[in-house]
Structure 1
Amino acid sequence: MLGFVLLVASFLAIDVAQADGRPHLNMIRPPGMPLMSDSQPLGPVTSRNGTVLPPFNQTYWFDQLIDHNNPSRGTFKQRFWHTWQFYEPGGPVLLMTPGEVNADGYADSYLSTKAISGQIAQQQNGSVVIIEHRFYGLSNPINDLKAESLKYHTIQQAIEDLEYFIKNVILPQPDGDRLTPDKAPWVLFGGSYSGALTSWTMVNKPDLFAAGYASSAVVEAILNFWRYFEPIREHMPANCSADVQVAISHIDEVFSGDNKTAIQEMKDLFGLGEMTHLDDVAGALRNNLWDWQSLQPTSQNSLFYEFCDALEVKDGVSASAEGWGLEHALQAWGNFWTEGGYLQRLCRNNSPEACLGTYDPNQPFYTDTSIDNNLRSWMWIVCNEVGYLQEGAPKGHPSLVTRLVQPPYDLRQCQLMFPEAFEKPPKVDIKGTNKAYKGWDVRIENIFFANGMRDPWREATMSAEGLDVKSTPEQPIGLGDGFHCSDLSTASGLADPTILAVQQAALASMKRWLADWKPSAAHDGARVPAPASGSGPKPEGRTKPAPRKPLSAWSKGAGVA
């Protein structure tokens, strides 16, 4: 009997404030492995043999190679956190990076049994390591985020980091110098982008990791990722969905016309009258839909549902599934931004143009190259390798967000942020990324994919609708009724049975896979320098997925799909 229950607290929303304190909230959202809001220190930590261990937030530093294609460039300091609370000789080492974020604060949850990583470690007598991704937080090969420095910021370099780390680190535990992957099984895990990195690494480095756990893993690079909003449309309150669709369609119609009075009145309705560019105004309204990304099964009184209540509750009465209609929806949405304080929450003390405008190349959002600027580091990956541009749906398909924002809008921001790298808007090499790391075509052994039906990133995962991919014992795909990375949390509370079933299936898979692992020279785990040349993606074509099935054709049942 697996003795844990699921998730009491919601996850913290992504922090979109820049280094200078000014938010910039009119750009695509990174996937974001969640930081658990209940991640308070647990007090003294002891091992199973009674040894008092350092606190989870004890920071260690590893000498990582700046450039795995040219080790002679030297090393930089890469942060990591570690515990061997449940470790016994012969147990695995679990390795995770939070991905596209400063890793401070992740240790207190992800090193403990509040997270699935700790549950796996407890079950398998393992230790756990969290490593900060290069060019995020304080783990920077170069001490700035200029384009010339960011040439070392690639998916492949991140993969090489993981290999070099597990082959060369001496972990702060009794046998920490004898845990190379030829002598001990390593398990790679992560969520969101770092879940994708788990899959990509196991494809690129076969036999290096004994097993992997990939939560909400966005394995497929997609340029125009308009389907980001599809799980939201499918699962949000029907009345709210209906009114948002009719309102945004009308806004697009007004902004596409030549009635200057109507255009100004529409801008003023949302407190955005001073803004110059209509695509910025319409694009800014995506923020209300992006708020869905921070939801979890126990979310209550969230900002997203405050928004829907503002639109759908009138004089104490909720609208039917058809909503109240255009007139009320528009006015209520505008009031939510102005009288309801949503614009103030977004922009703090900044003007709407400074906060939500995207056309001024002198904005700090574009020019700040100091380290620990997560959105800049993420934009480099977006603009070069993955895309994930969250735009309006094609004409003829229901859309929750404006169709005035299309890929050229976001690719222009790439050019403004990195003018020395892009003389014109970039052509994102999604074909090369999917060719190199297999995307939806991944077929490897001993990796568990855990996904959620309500996850806005679902359509880039192995549970995207229309994929003809079978869940197998070697590559299970667990599908619960959760949101983004809901399965990562195992904090005590009322369990969602579908997510709990996914977690139980993952633990069973890990137990089976690790029981079969044997030390072998084939793992090539000796402490050796990085490879002399990279093996990153090349721009070639790939096979398209099977035609998409409607949602009704998919089971919403618990556990492994």
Structure 2
Amino acid sequence: MAAVAMRTAALAVICLAHASQAAFRTSLKLPDFRNQLAQSERETHVAARGGVRPELLYPEHNISVPVDHFHNDSSYEPHSDAFFNLRYWFDASHYQPGGPVIVLQSGETSGKGRLPFLQKGIVAQLCQATGGLGVVLEHRYYGTSFPTPDLSTENLRFLTTDQAMADQVYFAQNIVFPGLEHLNLTSHQNAYIAYGGSYAGAFVAFLRKLYPDVYWGAISSSGVTEAIYDYWQYFEAAELYAPTACVSATQWLTNIVDNILIKKNGTDLPGRLKRAFGLGNITRSDDFANTISVGISGLQSTNWDPEQNSTDFGVYCDAVSSQKVLYPHCADIKSEVQSLILAGGYEDQVDSLVNPMLNWIGWLNDTVVSTCKNKTQDECFTNFDSNFYQKDDLKQTWRSWPYQYCKEWGYLQTGSGVPVDKLPLVSRLVDLNYTSVVCKEAFNITTLPDVESINKHGGFGISYPRLAIIDGEKDPWRAATPHAIGQPDRPSTASEPFILIKDGVHHWDENGLFPNETTPDMPPQPVADTQKMEAMFVQEWMMEWKLHLAGTRLDEWEDL
């Protein structure tokens, strides 16, 4: 992309710590935006392990690109003739004459966070296999690549996927790499291969289809090519692949919460429930329901590499699956929790659910409630603050991605959208009205996102020569990709690879290890096999390129 969204301040911090792997989040809430703002104001460095920090290896550069590529499209009025600096990094250490230019689209985050992929991830691997030159290209309105003086709704009109794709085309057609000025490395004479993960995965799939004469091939990893407004399916991956005991406990306990908050609103029970969770000072029930839903939302942040992995999802599941009280400080509210389970309609399961609920409360207090310091609980956990949403200076970098999903992509992850014959994993109070608060408050967007502007490019069925589709079996975003359960299977060919990484989650093929870091189990065999296949089919694409180039030159010679 583009993730469920970081549901609370605590989860936001976790996800930001693993930003290179799990940046794609939608349905973001006010605590998430505050944490993003705090993160952007701190000096950040890309972590290094077993080597030099990649930001020290790869200096940042800028290319001047048009603010507005589409003067014939009235949606960008008033039009602009200005240019702005689009940031990029490159590595020519593997380059050999005739090799491709591998461009990683950084997507909805600062491009700096993608530099490890240039050093030892998928870009480095493909460049080593093909004699290629690797590039990380920043997306407009992220990092330092801002085309306008502020992020007001009017000035965000140039933030569309179409404009950003045109940036990447302009880059390929006009780039002169510093230090390599003697070489013509534009797409006019070289094969350009695009790679992207998540939102950027869909981006490069569309790029290949719309600009086939510029980008010779593309690899779409976890590419969310089908835009969906109410994306309740985000939680289906956890329902299918999380431990059964974790899923069942979460569904039952969430149903107890909803039965109290929704069906017994107006009694003292909602207040008692909030106090039992240590959140008695949260005023709104939807804010409370959202805050307690963080645990099951953490699947996306798991990764095969311990340095990139968040263990929160596993710790949460272990807690709610256990019949032992894992948090002794919760023992003194056992009778109250039993009473709440009864009130929630589960009188036959009081004995089996009381300890899982106590553990849920204990886990949440340790990971979320305890993070709220020197503020009221409403200030920490509410999704409502009109004054905050109206800020639009360039420091408010949190505005960019919500504008994109409010305007075009959707993906609001809800509990309310789950069919009525199923128990949801998050509260039904987390509904479209709640998850779209940022759309209305920050941008005055009250209409549905224009998902057709995205899905017209192919959606689930997107297909094109030299377009690879790579997805993770257990990815919460799989339901928005061509590998969505229920979509037709496809043969995997060298021209159109179609690979589902067994046990994989979100673009697990993107990160990598140095040779001295590998073990028999790391990367896992499905990931290692996928990365080898990617190198092999890109090599084959380059053989096709050479034949194409030879044929073009022969035609030019014959025309003389």
Seen in structure 2, the aligned counterparts of structure 1 residues 395 and 202 have a Cα distance that, compared at 3 Å, is same
Instruction: Report the Cα offset of residue 43 of structure 1.
Output: 4.2
Secondary structure of residue in 1 paired with 2:85? strand
The structure 1 residue matched to 2:511, chosen from 465, 489, 499, is 489
The structure 2 residue matched to 1:284, chosen from 291, 315, 318, is 291
Cα RMSD of the aligned pairs, angstroms, is: 3.0
Secondary structure of residue in 1 paired with 2:126? helix
Seen in structure 2, the aligned counterparts of structure 1 residues 350 and 177 have a Cα distance that, compared at 3 Å, is farther
What is the distance in 1 between the residues matched to 2:496 and 2:149? Answer: 40
What is the distance in 1 between the residues matched to 2:382 and 2:295? Answer: 17
Seen in structure 2, the aligned counterparts of structure 1 residues 483 and 43 have a Cα distance that, compared at 3 Å, is same
Match of 2:358 in 1: 331
List gaps (5 residues or longer) in structure 2: 1-14, 24-28, 37-43, 72-78, 327-348, 554-560
Task: Report whether the alignment pairs 1:178 with 2:205.
Answer: no
What is the distance in 2 between the residues matched to 1:169 and 1:26? Answer: 34
The residue identity in structure 1 corresponding to 2:154 is: E
What is the distance in 2 between the residues matched to 1:304 and 1:59? Answer: 35
Task: Report whether the alignment pairs 1:231 with 2:237.
Answer: yes
What is the distance in 1 between the residues matched to 2:45 and 2:470? Answer: 18
Task: Report whether the alignment pairs 1:431 with 2:461.
Answer: no
Secondary structure of residue in 2 paired with 1:486? coil
The structure 2 residue matched to 1:305, chosen from 314, 317, 321, is 314
Match of 2:482 in 1: 462
Match of 1:150 in 2: 156
Q: Deviations over 1:295-352 (max 9, x none)?
A: 01355781122222222334489xxxx99733223222122222x243234x454433
TM-score by length of 1: 0.79
8 Å contact kept, 1:100–1:374? no
Instruction: Report the Cα offset of residue 260 of structure 1.
Output: 2.3
The structure 1 residue matched to 2:410, chosen from 369, 387, 390, is 387
The residue identity in structure 2 corresponding to 1:505 is: M
TM-score by length of 2: 0.79
Seen in structure 2, the aligned counterparts of structure 1 residues 94 and 341 have a Cα distance that, compared at 3 Å, is closer
Instruction: Report the Cα offset of residue 427 of structure 1.
Output: 1.3
Q: Deviations over 1:383-426 (max 9, x none)?
A: 1100011111221124211112222322233111113xx3xx22
Task: Report whether the alignment pairs 1:501 with 2:529.
Answer: yes
- Please identify, of 509-518 and 154-163, the stretch whose mean Cα deviation from structure 2 is larger: 509-518
What is the distance in 2 between the residues matched to 1:472 and 1:325? Answer: 47
Match of 2:173 in 1: 167
The residue identity in structure 2 corresponding to 1:502 is: T
Q: Deviations over 1:234-279 (max 9, x none)?
A: 1112111111110001101101123521110111122222222212
The structure 1 residue matched to 2:425, chosen from 400, 419, 439, is 400
Q: Deviations over 1:118-141 (max 9, x none)?
A: 111001000011111100111000
Secondary structure of residue in 2 paired with 1:96? strand
Match of 2:462 in 1: 442
8 Å contact kept, 1:449–1:478? yes
Match of 2:369 in 1: 343
8 Å contact kept, 2:58–2:91? no
The residue identity in structure 2 corresponding to 1:74 is: A
Task: Report whether the alignment pairs 1:252 with 2:274.
Answer: no
Task: Report whether the alignment pairs 1:111 with 2:118.
Answer: yes
The structure 2 residue matched to 1:91, chosen from 96, 99, 110, is 99
What is the distance in 2 between the residues matched to 1:416 and 1:316? Answer: 42
Instruction: Report the Cα offset of residue 105 of structure 1.
Output: 3.7
Instruction: Report the Cα offset of residue 372 of structure 1.
Output: 5.2
Seen in structure 2, the aligned counterparts of structure 1 residues 352 and 142 have a Cα distance that, compared at 3 Å, is same
Task: Report whether the alignment pairs 1:78 with 2:86.
Answer: yes
What is the distance in 1 between the residues matched to 2:237 and 2:122? Answer: 24
List gaps (5 residues or longer) in structure 1: 1-9, 17-21, 30-34, 46-53, 524-561
The residue identity in structure 2 corresponding to 1:455 is: D
8 Å contact kept, 2:165–2:207? yes
Greater share of residues in helix: 2
8 Å contact kept, 1:26–1:287? no
- Please identify, of 402-411 and 440-449, the stretch whose mean Cα deviation from structure 2 is larger: 402-411
Instruction: Report the Cα offset of residue 456 of structure 1.
Output: 1.1
What is the distance in 2 between the residues matched to 1:379 and 1:401? Answer: 21
Match of 2:338 in 1: none
Secondary structure of residue in 2 paired with 1:163? helix
Instruction: Report the Cα offset of residue 209 of structure 1.
Output: 0.8
What is the distance in 1 between the residues matched to 2:241 and 2:404? Answer: 30
What is the distance in 2 between the residues matched to 1:245 and 1:349? Answer: 33
Task: Report whether the alignment pairs 1:411 with 2:418.
Answer: no
Seen in structure 2, the aligned counterparts of structure 1 residues 274 and 226 have a Cα distance that, compared at 3 Å, is same
Match of 1:371 in 2: 394
Instruction: Report the Cα offset of residue 360 of structure 1.
Output: 2.9
Instruction: Report the Cα offset of residue 233 of structure 1.
Output: 1.7
Match of 1:3 in 2: none
8 Å contact kept, 1:12–1:37? no
Q: Deviations over 1:175-196 (max 9, x none)?
A: 6651221200001001111111
What is the distance in 2 between the residues matched to 1:382 and 1:522? Answer: 41
Instruction: Report the Cα offset of residue 213 of structure 1.
Output: 1.2
Seen in structure 2, the aligned counterparts of structure 1 residues 323 and 259 have a Cα distance that, compared at 3 Å, is closer
Task: Report whether the alignment pairs 1:475 with 2:496.
Answer: yes
What is the distance in 1 between the residues matched to 2:310 and 2:448? Answer: 41
8 Å contact kept, 2:296–2:316? no
8 Å contact kept, 1:86–1:122? yes
Seen in structure 2, the aligned counterparts of structure 1 residues 118 and 212 have a Cα distance that, compared at 3 Å, is same
8 Å contact kept, 2:46–2:112? no
**What is the total number of aligned residue pairs between the two structures?**
481
Q: Deviations over 1:190-214 (max 9, x none)?
A: 1111111110111221232111111
What is the distance in 1 between the residues matched to 2:85 and 2:179? Answer: 20
Match of 2:278 in 1: 271
Secondary structure of residue in 1 paired with 2:240? helix
Instruction: Report the Cα offset of residue 143 of structure 1.
Output: 2.1
Secondary structure of residue in 2 paired with 1:94? strand
What is the distance in 2 between the residues matched to 1:444 and 1:334? Answer: 49
Secondary structure of residue in 1 paired with 2:200? helix
8 Å contact kept, 2:223–2:469? yes
What is the distance in 2 between the residues matched to 1:414 and 1:316? Answer: 41
8 Å contact kept, 2:105–2:204? no
What is the distance in 2 between the residues matched to 1:361 and 1:44? Answer: 40
The residue identity in structure 1 corresponding to 2:549 is: P
8 Å contact kept, 2:46–2:113? no
Seen in structure 2, the aligned counterparts of structure 1 residues 312 and 56 have a Cα distance that, compared at 3 Å, is same
What is the distance in 1 between the residues matched to 2:186 and 2:48? Answer: 30
Secondary structure of residue in 2 paired with 1:260? coil
Match of 1:65 in 2: 66
Seen in structure 2, the aligned counterparts of structure 1 residues 42 and 331 have a Cα distance that, compared at 3 Å, is closer
Task: Report whether the alignment pairs 1:127 with 2:133.
Answer: yes
Secondary structure of residue in 1 paired with 2:549? coil
